[in-house]
Structure 1
Amino acid sequence: MSSLDFGRPKKVTAWNFVLASEELRVCSLDQKFSRVDFPDDFVFGSGTSAYQVEGAAFEDGKKPSIWDNFSHSGPGANGDIACDGYHKYKEDVQLMIDTGLEAYRFSISWSRLIPNGRGPINAKGLQYYNNVIDELTGHGIQPHVTLTHFDLPQVLEDEYEGWLSRKAVRDFTAYADVCFREFGDRVFHWTTFNEANMVAMAGYDMGMMPPGRCSTSLLGINCTKGNSSYEPYLAAHNMLLAHASAARLYKKKYKVIYAVFCKDGLIMQAAQRGSIGINVFAYWFVPYSKSPEDVIATQRANEFYVGWLVNPLVFGDYPGIVKKNAGTRIPAFTKAESKYLKGSIDFLGVNHYATTYIKDRSSSLNLEDRDVMADMAVQISYGGNQDERSPYEGLGELLDYLKHVYNDPPIYIHENGKATPSTSSLIDTSRVEVMQGFIGSMLDALRNGANVKGYFSWSFLDVFEIVRGSKFGMYYVDFDDKDLRRYPKLSAYWYSSFLKGRNMNKYNVVEVQDIQLTPNNLTSGYIGPKII
């Protein structure tokens, strides 16, 4: 596909272009900003993950991950083919170039690179990731790499129940070592875990994500194994230790400064110059009312959702309220572990989508058999009494909270976007409005001192999603087409225009080709929406 053209659209008699007042409204929002308002070292990108985009689930030596197994255990869709990124990565990188992406966030499939979880490297898997990274860097796109995105090798789950075992710390560190050694000369941004807090909660408490373990699920999921009372805490504990171990290895082995002697004298040189962090999912929480109970409950929700994982990485231990409410069900760190954990992140990755409202639910602490949600003792709702609030200002408040509570770490917004039905129009006005609103809120926070370093939309393509019927992509993927052709949505054009420096309050006309996503309408003649 050729570069996205933002000039006046050529006259096309085969299609009927219409003027859409809703697009006019979106492009005339009161947020007056452009790419040049952000620092030069601020990075804008988009993201996917291995299982959700690659496909080729059983090709070239790859073995199953826990996400493969989880998807195949139910009646829904799976990622066996996904977007076929394994074979179409060059085409997708070209779309990134056309869009103007400065960075691309993706994950490495552990079970593609090291199919047995440890031991021999899969040469074809290694070549694939080298090819992707070379394709990106060759076109000036920064690779931001996540080591695991809900996809631990199934063989390790079968052998010792994955993150419930301390053995996973050793195997993860060895896997990370391979990645640092093979890719670290070109990859300078490493994230150990995507949404580590949700791996623990959704994977081991609610059973809604891999590996699908629970005993009592709020969602009514009948898990075949698991214990929601203590397994989430144990899994999170081992992931934190795995992160600290990998971070320590990276800094001691790959970022060590060494001396080089040359004719001009002694030169100090670092082997690699990257950074390493972790990623968490974060709402911004607002008290449902001004009652002291709801205010206290809101802070408790922050401590459980974010502090549970971030506190140990900054201060060396869990928040006091988490330890108090979980009691003996949460493991304790030794002094040595606390030392390694403290200060082990160079940055914090945050996935943020919404503000939610918190009501106190302290009565849940009276339950004899409690899970993490009962220990949190709150009721989370998506509606509150603050109707005048912008839906986007929560991101700025979240950034301010992280700055002041966790010693001002550099922050990357790793995911942000909006789900729309997979069969909706290519004119994804609501997604444009969300992206514009959150980027504007982020800019306000940056001007107020937030240490935010980058923004990645989720997702670049309409990747496989665990919630059926919902897609987040800026590019539609026609899954009914054997070639899985990609088509830009309005959001792709909007983001591209923003990245190429247009001031986002200057549009006076938006012309769109308003078609529905059906196979008959998606032909090679499709041009797509145009912003002029």
Structure 2
Amino acid sequence: MSKKVEDAANEDGRKPSIWDTFVHDNARISRGDDDIGCNQYHKYKEDVQLMVKTSLDAYRFFISWSRLIPDGKGPINPKGLQYYNNLINELTSKGIQPHVTLHHWDLPQALEDEYEGWVSRRVVKDFTAYADVCFREFGDRVKYWTTINEGNALAIGGYSAGFVPPQHCSPSSTYNCSRGNSSTEPYLVAHHVLLAHASAARLYRKKYLDTQHGFIGFNLLTYGFVPLTNTSEDINATQRAKDFYTGWFLNPFIFGQYPDSMKENVGSRLPVFTKRESSLVKGSMDFLGINIYFTYLVKNNPDSLHSEDKSFTADIAAELQYVHENGTSTYEIPITPWSLNGLLKSLKKEYGNFPVYIRENGVLD
């Protein structure tokens, strides 16, 4: 969602992404292209000067795929290329290290129209070609690359619950989706996201690493999970929640396979890695970026597995009670630093001591 800070949605050759379509189709959301927000596209020099004044030494931003390659594949947009070069040069000239994310849920609409985007395996090839352009054009100055922002939230929000673009979900979902299948598409999308990341990482290491000396990472929306009670049922349910939300991606990155609990509960709806794919995905992450805002209390709920309406949340076989920071939750446990501390310890214990960057955190209203 680079447009969130860039604006200029319809300027200088940029074409729509699925986020533009989503905004236009939802009256309750600002149109985005008509409203002027941060306007970084025109005011990046002022923005960087503000960073200097606040003593920032790094800046994380997102490249808009449809600004750089308007149709998702094919010709590069010279104006888009110039903008990102200008921004990166302005940052590095002021001693600010650019941390670039390639994809923040804003797939070019052209690819969604052609083959349904992340639902199709074809997206792996197009994403890798897009990443290649970015590595080639910007990699002499960018050392930290994140392929996908919140890969798990992309799959769940866009293809299970349907509350973010491209709004795919089953008819039984709370949101009014015109297409989709909440029982299968989230798992397909996550599988293709993992393969796209791994393909881009392989390309970078083979073609650019020796000269650019950079790092390829991935970003997840993470949570604090706490058992509602000290029973073995709730403790096991808490581990399942971890498996489904973070192990879904970290297990393939570290071990080359999905968690056993996912294989058991999802069954044949969960894609299977070939031996080649497993070896490609395993070890393809140099670092993990995490975003954390929520803590959940977890209660075992095996009955959800027998529901006719299969979905990602039902497959976990657990109820998640959102904990508010102001104590308004039923169980009144606030979000506190121990939640983040516990998450970091859990990641290290279960997956090893790889680099972790805390990209987003805080309290939501």
Query: What TM-score do you get using the length of structure 1 for normalisation?
Result: 0.66
**Worse-superposed segment, 205-214 or 354-363:** 354-363
State the distance in 1 between where 2:176 and 2:331 align: 36
- 1:182 matched to 2:137? The reply is yes
Which residue in 1 is equivalent to 2:85?
130
State the distance in 2 between where 1:253 and 1:275 align: 13
Which residue in 2 is equivalent to 1:77?
30
Deviation at 1:354, TM superposition (A): 2.6
- 1:223 matched to 2:163? The reply is no
State the distance in 1 between where 2:353 and 2:331 align: 28
Deviation at 1:118, TM superposition (A): 0.6
Deviation at 1:82, TM superposition (A): 3.4
Contact 1:205 1:372 in 2 (8 A): yes
Of 239, 243, 250, 1:299 maps to 239
Contact 2:2 2:62 in 1 (8 A): yes
Post-superposition Cα deviations, 1:8-29, rounded to whole Å, max 9, x if no partner, equal xxxxxxxxxxxxxxxxxxxxxx
Deviation at 1:282, TM superposition (A): 0.5
Of 131, 149, 162, 1:194 maps to 149
State the distance in 2 between where 1:396 and 1:322 align: 25
- 1:171 matched to 2:126? The reply is yes
Which residue in 1 is equivalent to 2:307?
367
Of 20, 29, 32, 1:68 maps to 20
Deviation at 1:60, TM superposition (A): 0.2
Which residue in 1 is equivalent to 2:168?
213
Higher RCO (C-alpha 8 Å, min separation 6): 1
- 1:357 matched to 2:297? The reply is yes
CA 1:122–1:50 in structure 2 vs 1: closer, same or farther (change >3 Å)? same
State the distance in 1 between where 2:170 and 2:147 align: 28
Which residue in 1 is equivalent to 2:200?
246
State the distance in 1 between where 2:202 and 2:37 align: 34
Contact 1:354 1:391 in 2 (8 A): no
Contact 1:276 1:346 in 2 (8 A): yes
Give identity over the alignment, percent: 59
Deviation at 1:159, TM superposition (A): 0.1
- 1:204 matched to 2:159? The reply is yes
SS in 2 for 1:354: strand
- 1:404 matched to 2:359? The reply is no
Deviation at 1:387, TM superposition (A): 5.8
- 1:325 matched to 2:269? The reply is no
CA 1:389–1:64 in structure 2 vs 1: closer, same or farther (change >3 Å)? closer
CA 1:226–1:387 in structure 2 vs 1: closer, same or farther (change >3 Å)? closer
Post-superposition Cα deviations, 1:226-254, rounded to whole Å, max 9, x if no partner, equal 11010000010001000000000000100
Which residue in 1 is equivalent to 2:326?
none
CA 1:419–1:368 in structure 2 vs 1: closer, same or farther (change >3 Å)? closer
State the distance in 1 between where 2:282 and 2:75 align: 32
SS in 2 for 1:350: strand
Post-superposition Cα deviations, 1:131-174, rounded to whole Å, max 9, x if no partner, equal 00011111011100000001010000000000011110000000
- 1:272 matched to 2:212? The reply is yes
Deviation at 1:55, TM superposition (A): 0.7
Contact 1:205 1:216 in 2 (8 A): no
CA 1:390–1:84 in structure 2 vs 1: closer, same or farther (change >3 Å)? closer
- 1:52 matched to 2:7? The reply is no
Letter in 1 for 2:246: V
CA 1:391–1:348 in structure 2 vs 1: closer, same or farther (change >3 Å)? same
SS in 2 for 1:277: strand
Letter in 1 for 2:354: P
State the distance in 1 between where 2:182 and 2:150 align: 18
Contact 2:294 2:335 in 1 (8 A): no
State the distance in 2 between where 1:78 and 1:287 align: 41
- 1:419 matched to 2:359? The reply is no
Of 297, 316, 320, 2:256 maps to 316
Of 25, 33, 49, 1:94 maps to 49
CA 1:388–1:62 in structure 2 vs 1: closer, same or farther (change >3 Å)? closer
RMSD: 1.5
- 1:113 matched to 2:57? The reply is no
Which residue in 2 is equivalent to 1:282?
222
**Worse-superposed segment, 56-65 or 411-420:** 411-420
Of 161, 164, 167, 2:116 maps to 161
CA 1:400–1:324 in structure 2 vs 1: closer, same or farther (change >3 Å)? same
Contact 2:172 2:309 in 1 (8 A): no
Deviation at 1:51, TM superposition (A): 2.1
Which is greater in Rg? 1
Q: Which has the higher helix share?
A: 2
Which residue in 1 is equivalent to 2:316?
376
Gaps spanning 5+ residues in structure 1: where?
Answer: 1-48, 256-269, 421-532
Gaps spanning 5+ residues in structure 2: where?
Answer: 324-328
Deviation at 1:83, TM superposition (A): 1.8
Contact 1:280 1:349 in 2 (8 A): yes
**Worse-superposed segment, 155-164 or 73-82:** 73-82
State the distance in 2 between where 1:290 and 1:143 align: 44
Post-superposition Cα deviations, 1:11-61, rounded to whole Å, max 9, x if no partner, equal xxxxxxxxxxxxxxxxxxxxxxxxxxxxxxxxxxxxxx5121111111000
State the distance in 2 between where 1:354 and 1:133 align: 32
Deviation at 1:359, TM superposition (A): 1.0
State the distance in 2 between where 1:92 and 1:400 align: 35
Q: Aligned residues, how many?
A: 357
State the distance in 2 between where 1:360 and 1:78 align: 41
Which residue in 2 is equivalent to 1:234?
188
Contact 1:355 1:394 in 2 (8 A): yes
State the distance in 2 between where 1:199 and 1:98 align: 34
Deviation at 1:369, TM superposition (A): 3.1
SS in 1 for 2:60: strand
